[in-house]
């Protein structure tokens, strides 16, 4: 790995932008200064007129995840590769809890999936979908495995959901052991009733996925979970928030000193329930579902006002038509996908390809349109996640001593985007035909250039696991 000097770029951090040189030695940033004399025998990249940003951190991804009769289309290599092309250099994946297995066994299984494939640095969260005395004893041992965050659900009855008393007990444990609780906020009881009614009345089209998961279920679940955070004094992170009302409840709790934080995702900023009326509507099936334009606008305002802390992706891709193979790295690949629910919306695999699109789309629709600043972009797509999940300042900032994870973009370069440019291992892209800015020209992971002008220089297995033995800050 050659040492490197990036000269003359505008270095954008969450706390400000300066024209500066960045000196990289090995895997670390050695110096950031207004002018650095070129050392002997060092590679120099002139970034004049370009922006130099910290590598993106996506704390919400699902790679190689079994669902229904299939598995998510990206694994821990293809998903990491797609992330890198979009400027994300660190991802965090969720480990499912397996009935009858210990948490350690689940962690070991996910390391078997990821360790040899990882192309960028990564970490894990642990799903807790069954809770009893044995699990309660095992939870603190996750810290020895470098896992300090636990995800729970108020939806998916009889599969993933915990009852409120169990969530409350888990949050007490999390508080005691300095762990972070993450929560999927919907009302599983209401969803169950509405789905049964819809199917009995013959409603099977994709739009009914949204109509059976009403926004009010998310709104009340955010407040209900926030009340548990207040009573346990345990930090809480609400994932993939999609409603204006949910944001209202987040602000209500935060204004009263409750340690709760919120994440939203590009799909809830850029699409609406109307997409579920298209002929290819299943492409947009995710949980929670898309909402309406007024929700979109409220969420953008929440980002502008720093009411949200993080923009994740909730990347969980499936083929639109898994019966037809695509070519990926010279191989023909087909994986059953959205066609599994062609006659029943409840059987459509839930999830969208987004990990590689996240940064360019937020730059285009956010920064370029004046909705958020470049500094807010860095905070919400990188720095805040590093701080919340306990990997700052190793990640999420361009400063001396930090990992040399960064990207160079030309903010004026615009491309026609779509599946031909997107690197996800799937057969469609939600942004087909969009004009997009913010595509990285060069991406560095721990000082190694892994993307250069659209060429993949990374490799399977080079990523490092980021062990976290305690949670980070509550922002």
Q: Per-residue pLDDT tens for 233-286?
A: 999 999 999 999 999 999 999 999 999 999 999 999 999 999 999 999 999 999
Q: What angle do CA 398, 399, 404 make, to 5 degrees?
A: 55
| Whole-Å CA distances, 467 to 109, 148, 402, 464 | 16, 9, 16, 9
91-148 pLDDT, tens digit each: 999 999 999 999 999 999 999 999 999 999 999 999 999 999 999 999 999 999 999 9
What is the percent of the chain where pLDDT is above 70? 100
Q: Which residues of 254-264 are buried (b: 16+ CB within 10 A; e: fewer)?
A: beeebbbbbbb
pLDDT for 200 beyond 90: yes
pLDDT band at 40 (very low <50, low <70, confident <90, very high): confident
pLDDT for 25 beyond 80: yes
202-237 pLDDT, tens digit each: 999 999 999 999 999 999 999 999 999 999 999 999
Is the CB of residue 119 less than 8 Å from the CB of residue 459?
yes
pLDDT band at 380 (very low <50, low <70, confident <90, very high): very high
pLDDT band at 38 (very low <50, low <70, confident <90, very high): confident
pLDDT for 183 beyond 90: yes
| Mean pLDDT over each residue of the chain, to the nearest integer | 97
pLDDT recorded at residue 1: 65
Structure-block tokens of residue 98: 């397996």
What are 88's strand-pairing partners?
Answer: 56
pLDDT band at 325 (very low <50, low <70, confident <90, very high): very high
pTM of the full structure: 0.97
Token pair 């020895």: residue: 144
SS3 408: strand
pLDDT for 446 beyond 90: yes
Ordered structural domains, the chain, with CATH: 4-53+402-456 (2.30.40.10), 59-388 (3.20.20.140)
> What sections of 28-147 are H helices per DSSP?
78-85, 103-114, 133-138
- The span from the CA of 326 to the CA of 184, in Å, is 33
> What sections of 215-328 are H helices per DSSP?
215-232, 244-255, 267-270, 293-304
pLDDT for 75 beyond 90: yes
- The span from the CA of 359 to the CA of 379, in Å, is 12
pLDDT band at 179 (very low <50, low <70, confident <90, very high): very high
Is the CB of residue 445 less than 8 Å from the CB of residue 427?
no
| Mean pLDDT confidence for 290-295 | 98
pLDDT for 41 beyond 90: no
| Mean pLDDT confidence for 25-49 | 94
- The span from the CA of 441 to the CA of 408, in Å, is 6
Structure-block tokens of residue 381: 């797509």
pLDDT for 2 beyond 90: no
pLDDT recorded at residue 278: 97
């Amino acid at each position: 790995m050659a040492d490197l000097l990036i000269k003359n770029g505008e270095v954008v951090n969450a706390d400000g932008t300066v024209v500066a040189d960045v000196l990289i030695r090995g895997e670390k940033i050695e110096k950031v200064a207004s002018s650095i004399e070129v050392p002997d025998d060092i590679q120099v990249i002139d970034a004049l007129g370009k922006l130099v940003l910290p590598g993106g951190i996506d704390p919400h991804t699902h790679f190689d995840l079994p669902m229904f009769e299939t598995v998510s289309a990206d694994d821990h290599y293809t998903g990491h590769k797609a992330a890198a092309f979009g400027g994300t250099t660190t991802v965090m994946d969720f480990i499912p809890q397996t009935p009858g297995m210990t948490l350690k066994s689940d962690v070991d299984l996910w390391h078997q999936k990821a360790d040899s494939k990882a192309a960028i640095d990564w970490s894990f969260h642990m799903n807790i979908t069954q809770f009893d005395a044995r699990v309660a004893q095992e939870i603190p041992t996750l810290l020895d495995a470098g896992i300090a965050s636990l995800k729970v659900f108020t939806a998916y009855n009889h599969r993933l959901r915990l009852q409120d008393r169990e969530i409350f007990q888990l949050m007490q444990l999390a508080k005691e052991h300095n762990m972070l609780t993450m929560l999927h906020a919907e009302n599983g009881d209401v969803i169950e009733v509405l789905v049964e009614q819809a199917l009995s009345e013959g409603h099977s089209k994709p739009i009914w996925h949204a109509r059976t998961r009403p926004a009010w279920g998310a709104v009340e679940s955010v407040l209900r979970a926030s009340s548990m955070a207040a009573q346990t004094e345990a930090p809480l992170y609400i994932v993939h928030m999609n409603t204006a009302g949910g944001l209202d409840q987040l602000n209500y709790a935060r204004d009263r000193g409750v340690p709760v934080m919120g994440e939203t995702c590009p799909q809830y900023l850029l699409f609406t329930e109307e997409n579920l009326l298209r002929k290819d509507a299943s492409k947009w099936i995710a949980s929670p579902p898309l909402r309406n334009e007024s929700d979109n606008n409220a969420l953008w305002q929440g980002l502008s006002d720093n009411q949200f802390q993080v923009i994740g992706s909730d990347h969980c891709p499936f083929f639109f038509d898994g019966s037809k193979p695509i070519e990926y790295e010279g191989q023909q690949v087909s994986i059953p996908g959205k066609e599994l629910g062609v006659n029943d919306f409840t059987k459509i695999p839930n999830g969208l390809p987004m990990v590689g699109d996240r940064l360019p789309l937020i730059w285009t629709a956010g920064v370029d349109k004046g909705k958020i600043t470049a500094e807010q972009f860095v905070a919400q797509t990188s720095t805040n996640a590093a701080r919340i999940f306990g990997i700052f300042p190793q990640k999420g900032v361009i400063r001396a001593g930090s990992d040399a994870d960064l990207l160079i973009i030309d903010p004026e370069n615009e491309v026609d985007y779509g599946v031909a440019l997107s690197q996800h291992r799937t057969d469609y892209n939600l942004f087909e035909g969009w004009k997009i800015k913010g595509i990285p020209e060069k991406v560095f992971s721990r000082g190694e250039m892994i993307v250069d002008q659209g060429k993949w220089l990374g490799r399977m297995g080079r990523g490092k696991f980021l062990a976290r033995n305690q949670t980070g800050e509550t922002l």
